[in-house]
Amino acid sequence: MITAKSVKELREMTGAGMMDCKKALTETNGDIEKAVEFLREKGLAAAAKKAGRVAAEGLVKTYITEDNKKAGIVEVNCETDFVAANEQFVAFADSLAKMVVDTTATTVEEFLNEKYNEEQTVQEALTALIATLGENMTVRRFKKVEVANGAVQTYIHGGGRIGVVVELGCETESQVVVDLAKELCMQVAAANPLFLNEEGVDKEAVEKEREIYRVQALNEGKPEKIVDKMVEGRIKKYYKEVCLVDQAWVKDGDKSIAKLVEEKSKEVGSPITVNSFVRFERGEGIEKVVEDFAAEVAKQMGK
């Protein structure tokens, strides 16, 4: 008899998908050891051996609904750019971006447990792809963005190296709002803002910057009485660097994003608000191991 416990045990031993484990146990009459052999023969148990390898390559993918009201963004990682260009990997990443639009999951773990198709969860589909393509892969992060009044837009840069979603609010339906959202997506991709506006900046970060600027000014020999003004001037410059609405527009350095939005609001005849943005850059923050190929070959040869 095939039990849930035996399926779970086989999954933990091999890293294969639940349905694959159930099938293996059925084919081997519940014999765990033979089921492991069955999965290895099918190439499905190999995924577990690859799980420890660093996956810092891959793709960022986005999907947007036709009405420009909902969008999804996801980062799926693999080990090499070769696999990142593989049709099966690309199709898998695209399908996940589309799934994100309708997901109820708020964590990657929840998302991995959602149904990918009639037979597999996302995790099981991922495990099967790992076995097929021979590299470790991970679904690293995702984000769902939607707006009732306004528009969302997406942008992919560098063939999936950077993905962006921008959400704008506006009571008036207009192509101008949609086009502006696209424009801001490209701004976010190029200028990499850390925050939406000054209100969103971490207060501790600002105080840290303020203290650094104060020490710098004093070290430069500036009089104490003008140091505070200098510090505040540098804080304003800091905001212009890290806050999207305060940044200079990449297409016109004399115009801020806030000014651009103000102009477009007048054109539409209704206030436009920049509500949020998401920017994923492939592999950011992942420590990638640099392989010494010659040393690896020597090691394999026992030298």
What is the percent of the chain with per-residue pLDDT over 90, rounded to a whole number? 63
Higher pLDDT, 247 or 202: 247
Q: Residue 293: its pLDDT value, please?
A: 47
Lowest mean pLDDT, pick from 72-81, 134-143, 224-233: 224-233
The pLDDT confidence band at residue 295, using thresholds 50, 70 and 90, is low
- pLDDT at residue 202 in the model: 84
Query: Where in the chain do CATH 1.10.286.20 domains reside?
Result: 203-238
Q: Write the burial class of residue 177 (CB in 10 Å: 0-12 exposed, 13-18 middle, 19+ buried).
A: buried
Q: What is the DSSP string of 113-163?
A: TSBSSSS-BHHHHHHHHHHHH-S--EEEEEEEEE-SSEEEEEEEETTTTEE
DSSP letters, 52-96, are TS---EEEEEEEE-TTSSEEEEEEEEES-HHHHT-HHHHHHHHHH
pLDDT the model gives residue 90 = 98
Instruction: Reply yes or no on whether the pLDDT at 303 is more than 60.
Output: no
pLDDT band for position 107 (50/70/90)? very high
What are 248-273's pLDDT values in tens digits? 999 999 999 999 999 999 999 999 99
Could you read off the pLDDT of 61-95 as tens digits, one per residue? 999 999 999 999 999 999 999 999 999 999 999 99
**How much of the chain, in percent, has pLDDT values that exceed 70?**
91
pLDDT tens digit string along 10-38?
A: 877 777 777 888 888 999 999 888 888 88
Domain 203-238, CATH: 1.10.286.20
- The average confidence (pLDDT) of the chain is 89
pLDDT, tens only, 124-133: 999 999 999 9
User: 49-63, 101-115, 228-242, 279-293 — which one is most confidently predicted on average?
Assistant: 101-115
Note the CATH number of domain 57-200+243-281: 3.30.479.20
Query: What per-residue confidence (pLDDT) applies to 248?
Result: 97
Comparing 151 with 15, the larger pLDDT belongs to 151
Sorted by sequence, the CB contacts under 8 Å of residue 172 that are 6+ apart come out as: 268, 269, 270
Taking alpha carbons only, the member of 165, 174, 190, 201 closest to residue 274 is: 165
Residue the block writes with tokens 């209100």? 199
For CATH 1.10.8.10, list the domain ranges present in the chain. 4-49
What is the structure's pLDDT at 286? Answer: 80
Q: What angle do CA 61, 65, 68 make, to 5 degrees?
A: 105
CATH number of 4-49: 1.10.8.10
Stated pTM of the model: 0.77
Q: Where in the chain is the domain with CATH 3.30.479.20?
A: 57-200+243-281
Burial (CB < 10 A; 0-12, 13-18, 19+), residue 293, is exposed
